[in-house]
């Protein structure tokens, strides 16, 4: 099974790329996806996240995560051999730091948690 995790990080943020890739892989494995998978993860600042939130959610505020599915509303095939291009996960690093502090967690652990949360959204698992 091939997992292609494309990672974009604004230059001033230091993130553990291996852990991000591992978080993606964990979700793919737990959900028994055997097709090759492609997903992108972007780490941005509050200003960029606010722009995205305003444009796509109609809310003029920053948030910790946004996910953009390439297969919105479609059932994700578990395996047909084709690469599953799941979509994009965007994290606001300053918000992740604030959330990690609030939750008394390490920043890398909060990044992992949010990447896994975003992956579930891309796979069509939503929370109420």
pTM: 0.89
**CA angle 3–81–91, rounded 5-degree value:** 30
> What is the set of domains in the chain, with CATH numbers?
3-122 (3.40.390.30)
Sole residue written with tokens 């609030």: 102
pLDDT in tens, 41-63: 999 999 999 999 999 999 999 99
103 C-beta neighbours (distance < 10 Å), count: 11
Quick one: pLDDT band at residue 120, thresholds 50, 70, 90? very high
């Amino acid at each position: 099974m091939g997992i292609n995790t494309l990672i974009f990080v604004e230059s001033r943020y230091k993130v553990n790329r291996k852990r991000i890739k591992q978080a993606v892989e964990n979700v793919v494995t737990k959900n028994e996806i055997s097709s090759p998978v492609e997903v992108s993860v972007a780490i941005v600042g509050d200003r960029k996240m606010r722009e995205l939130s305003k444009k796509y959610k109609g809310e003029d505020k920053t948030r910790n995560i946004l996910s953009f599915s390439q297969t919105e509303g479609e059932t994700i095939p578990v395996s047909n051999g084709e690469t599953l291009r799941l979509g994009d996960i965007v994290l606001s690093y300053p918000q992740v730091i604030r959330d990690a502090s609030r939750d008394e967690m390490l920043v890398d652990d909060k990044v992992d948690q949010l990447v896994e949360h975003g992956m579930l959204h891309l796979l069509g698992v939503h929370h109420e």
